[in-house]
Amino acid sequence: MAEELRARTRCRPDLLVVFASFHHRALFSDALDLLRSELHPPHLLACTAEGVIEGSREIERTAGMCAIALSLPGVVARPFSFSLTDGPPSVWSHGFVRERVSLPPDEGALPHRGILMLADPFAVHTGHACAAIEHAAGPQGARIFGGVASGASFAGLNVLAVDRKITNQGIVGLSLFGDVEIEGVVSQGCRPVGPLLVVTRSRGHEILELGGRPALEVAQRMAEELDEHERALLCDGLAVGIAIDAAKPRLGRGDFVVRPVMMVDASSGALTLSEPVKPGTTVQFQVRDAATAHDDLALLLAAQRLRDPPAAALLFSCNRRGTRMFAAPDHDARFVSERLEHPPLAGFHCAGEIGPVGGRSRVHTETASLALFRAPHRGPAIA
């Protein structure tokens, strides 16, 4: 891999991004040392995952490793990390976040372009961390792109790295400034079913009532009214879409953050989600659907085809997509590669995908999230 990257890179890369399946976690730090010694990148970002993505291939359920080297003249990268010792994001102050993460306008005349971030799911809450960073960034926003490491069944088994820091927990990332444009694309993998509903009673992560009725009763009534095809989709699990802006006159694709129903309590009629829901929140039930996922990705990539092809791309795809969702392998990687004219592409199957939606960076599920690199003035040399 190091020799191939060196042969394809005309100069020393400024950033090396590496993803490896969990089969390589024991020797992952050695592999990163080897890549550093061969390519000498000033900055490195890496993690292990359940599966990795290279070009138009998605390597699932077998060993794999991929890397992408970027030469980015005129770009400044600032590394950062968070760990358990920093406490939960709910106690992070603006000053603490801004000191840890370089945010606009810390680099003076250089515009802030966004953040590449990788997280372990067992330590710091990634969604709360994104919210804290976005809040500290102010009206301009932080524009965070990345994913949550997958493949490990308990804490301490994932491996994350930024520059020369290697860790088994927490969050690592790079804040980027200067002569590069990073555009986010977040494609949904669920379709809404049933009507819009308002949470009238909740307790932490539990939705107790929807429209004044027990949440489970509402869900059961909704399921009974579905057609045969939609009812079959329910067998793959039920999710809840939380409206980003309920004041919009019409809510459609990109207007919901989808959260799976983690547990059902028949005695209380509660539905438990992966994050708290406040009373007054507008929601809509969602089901996983391969056809909707394909159509949504096609729509977003069609808009990208109106612009010059990106110089490179990072693809963060949910680990419940791939062959767990689509009939044929490599769906997301192949489709993205073909529609964007085969840019250098790397990525991994995530336990949560990070990308901006509705003007704010969030952790998503069931999505394919892209970070597309373009240069405002000149194309970076990328291998």
Interval 263-284: pLDDT, tens: 999 999 999 998 899 999 999 9
Give pLDDT, residue 6: 64
Residue 89, token pair as written in the block: 């994001």
User: Counting every residue, how long is the chain?
Assistant: 383
Pairing assessment for the beta strands 181-187 and 238-243 based on DSSP bridges = unpaired
Percentage of the residues of the chain whose pLDDT score is greater than 70: 95
| CA 94 centroid distance within chain | 23
**Region 312-321 average pLDDT:** 97
DSSP state at residue 254 = T
Q: With contact defined as beta carbons under 8 Å apart, do 353 and 364 qualify?
A: yes
Interval 328-343: pLDDT, tens: 999 999 999 999 999 9
Give pLDDT, residue 8: 66
For the residues of 151-210, what is the DSSP string, one character each? S-SSTT---EEETTEEESSSEEEEEEEES-EEEEEEE--EEEEEEEEEEEEEETTEEEEE
Q: How far apart, in whole angstroms, are the C-alpha atoms of residue 256 and residue 186?
A: 11
**Region 91-96 average pLDDT:** 95
Q: Is the dihedral of CA 352, 355, 359, 360 positive or negative?
A: positive
pLDDT at 104 > cutoff 90: no
Give pLDDT, residue 379: 43
Interval 207-253: pLDDT, tens: 999 999 999 999 999 999 999 999 999 988 999 999 999 888 888 87
For the residues of 62-127, what is the DSSP string, one character each? S--EEEEEEE-TTEEEEEEEE-GGG--GGG--HHHHHHHS--TTTTTTSPEEEEEEEE-TTSS-HH
**Region 100-116 average pLDDT:** 87
Give pLDDT, residue 27: 95
Q: How far apart, in whole angstroms, are the C-alpha atoms of residue 210 and residue 308?
A: 46
Mean pLDDT for the chain overall: 93
Give pLDDT, residue 98: 94
pLDDT at 153 > cutoff 90: no
Give pLDDT, residue 37: 93
Which of 311-315, 316-320, 377-381 comes out lowest in average pLDDT? 377-381
Tell which residue, 40, 377, 362, 366, has the closest CA to residue 184. 362
pLDDT at 368 > cutoff 90: yes
Task: Write down the pTM of the prediction.
Answer: 0.93
**Region 10-23 average pLDDT:** 92
**Region 22-43 average pLDDT:** 95
pLDDT at 381 > cutoff 70: no
